């Protein structure tokens, strides 16, 4: 859960890098949890559809193009581990 003080710092535009990563990882955790729960109930849904959804949401969050997002993931192991992407 994101602390109220962090939310206030986000609103003010004064966010430290560690606070940003806390928010990003919390968001990633929610995206992965919801995507896997939402799509796994469908009989015809393959993992690549779930991973596509996760990548697109996180790519939008960070504001990267597709190719830059995968380069970014290569450098940020913690985020990659959080996302648990098989194809990345």
Token readout for 22 is: 């806390």
Does a structural domain hold residue 55? yes
Tens digit of each residue's pLDDT (9 = 90 or more) over 17-72: 887 888 888 889 889 988 888 876 666 667 788 888 889 999 998 888 888 988 88
Does a structural domain hold residue 88? no
Alpha-helical runs (H) found in 1-88: 4-12, 17-39, 47-62, 66-75, 77-83
**What's the structural domain count of the chain?**
1
Can you give the pTM of this predicted structure?
Answer: 0.73
Q: Which pLDDT belongs to residue 56? A: 92
Does a structural domain hold residue 32? yes
Residues 6+ positions from 19 with CB-CB distance below 8 Å: 6, 9, 10
Residue-number span of the structural domain to which 20 is assigned: 4-83
């Amino acid at each position: 859960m994101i602390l109220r003080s962090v939310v206030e710092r986000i609103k003010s535009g004064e966010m430290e890098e560690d606070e940003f990563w806390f928010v990003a990882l919390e968001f990633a955790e929610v995206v992965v949890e919801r995507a896997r729960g939402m799509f796994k109930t469908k009989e015809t849904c393959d993992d690549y559809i779930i991973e596509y959804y996760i990548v697109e949401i996180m790519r939008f969050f960070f504001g990267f193009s597709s190719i830059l997002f995968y380069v970014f993931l290569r450098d940020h192991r913690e985020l990659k581990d959080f996302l648990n992407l098989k194809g990345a």
